[in-house]
Amino acid sequence: MRTYRLPEPSLRLAIPAAAALAIVQFLHAPSLRAQDSTDKQEIDKRFARMQQQIDAQQQQLDEYRNAIKALQQQLAVATASNTTTTTDATTLQQAVTEIREEQSAQQAEIAVHEQAKVETRSRYNMRIGGLLLFNAFANDGAVDSVDVPVLAVPRVEGASNGSLGASLRQSIVTLDVTGPKLWGARTYGNLQMDFFGDLSTADYTSSAGSVRMRAASLQMLWPSVNVHAGLERLLIAPFSPTSYASIGEPALAWSGNLWAWIPQLTAAKTFSFGERQQLSFAGALADIPDPGPNTNAYLRNATAAESSRYPASEGRISYAWGASQSGQTTLANAIAINGYWSPHDYGEYGSVDAWAGTADWRFALTHGFSFTGAAYKGAVLGGLGGGVFKDVSAYSYMHGPDGPIIYKVIPLRDVGGWAQLKFRPVDWFEVNEAFGQDNGYAQQLRSAHVPLTNWYSGLARNQSFLSNVIFRPTNSILLSLEYRKLRSWQLILPANEAQIFGLAAGFEF
């Protein structure tokens, strides 16, 4: 028979208690569930209140943040305003300083103007300038003029065949006048005088000279058109070599440099292509003189060109390019071709036409070097400073077997030119080397039976070489040493030679 063992007493007591507890929990289960539901609702309410507080705090934080941004913007505006105020104050201070400096400069200019001004009957300004020039020379050889020789003549046996002297005859005085505006153009006037006229009759001033009008011009200048009239250099030959030993007549005159100063009416039109290119067209009407001195000592006779009743005409086409050189307004490089025509009337001896084709150039090379020159070919060029001092020659023929002898003029042809190499590394120092030649047609001169009455009429070719050094210790003072060599050929004699050593000291004002 199966037997069962009862639990321990403690276990016997625990079992009824557990059962009782289970019964009680079962009986009270609804009330516990009701309590849990109540607690959950309370928790939800607390959570909702906390969420509201958090939202309120977030809203307050947003308000604080917006307020901070507004304060930052106000601070930035205030800082910018202060910076602008400071900048305006600095700008105003700089403007005041500039005005004071400009006022000081204007006062200095006014003081200079008050010191240098020249009173005129008009209200327009006039300036006086020029060059006070001392020239000393030593000639080794016989020459035509000791001051500024252009021709070497034969040496005379037993004579000195040389000379030493000095003068200030080549000093220059200039007057520059600024006039009113007329038809939109600026107007200018210029008068240039030297003392290279007739020599004084007083023995003790034999090296002095009389005042001579060297050049003069009246000018009307529009932005691209220039009209001027005056006693000026030839339109077809605007350049000359650089020399302070030969100013009364330009360097290389009668040796390839057409240099005459003649009355002209000139008009020029310039087309600019940017700042470094220009194309110019110019024309002129001119009054051409005869070569040599006037035959009447008291009255001026009509020249052969004036007797034709037609003015001489000149034309020029030039092209310039390249950056302007230091201290100059002209462009660095230029080249031009020119033409000249002038009828000459010799009355009963007939008429001829003077003509020439010329070219000139100016090139800026590297390292301070520049090359300038001109060349020409034509006929009847004596009045322009060429033609070996002659325009025409006369030849005779018998009009019929028993008729009278009739003389007719023939034009004398000529060719020549000059070139100069300049070295100017700095503004206050330069070296110049130049050569020129004027060459008549010797065969034509021989066949024309040119009368050999003097050294000029018999000249067939003239040649010159010069070399000089120019030193400017200041803008106003200049010193120059120069060497020249002349070679002159006569029709029936060998070449004559002469050497000239020159010293020049000048003060520009």
pLDDT at residue 86, as a whole number = 60
Question: Phi/psi zone of residue 252: left (φ > 0), alpha (ψ -120 to 50 degrees), beta?
Answer: left
pLDDT at residue 37, as a whole number = 58
pLDDT at residue 3, as a whole number = 45
Dist. CA 56–CA 254, nearest whole Å: 111
Q: Block means of pLDDT (10 residues each) for the chain, length 509 residues?
A: 45 46 49 54 73 77 79 72 61 72 67 57 82 95 91 90 92 92 92 83 61 92 94 94 94 94 96 91 96 73 93 97 72 95 93 96 94 97 93 67 72 96 95 97 78 82 97 95 96 90 96
Report the predicted TM-score, pTM, of the whole model to 2 decimal places. 0.73
pLDDT at residue 311, as a whole number = 96
Provide the Cα torsion 426, 245, 264, 362; round to 10°. -30
Q: What are phi and psi of 385, to 5 degrees?
A: 95, 20
Return the closest-CA partner of residue 247 out of 217, 215, 271, 225.
215
pLDDT at residue 458, as a whole number = 86
pLDDT at residue 97, as a whole number = 74
Positive or negative torsion for Cα 456, 358, 193, 484: negative
Q: Are 489 and 150 in contact (CB under 8 A)?
A: no
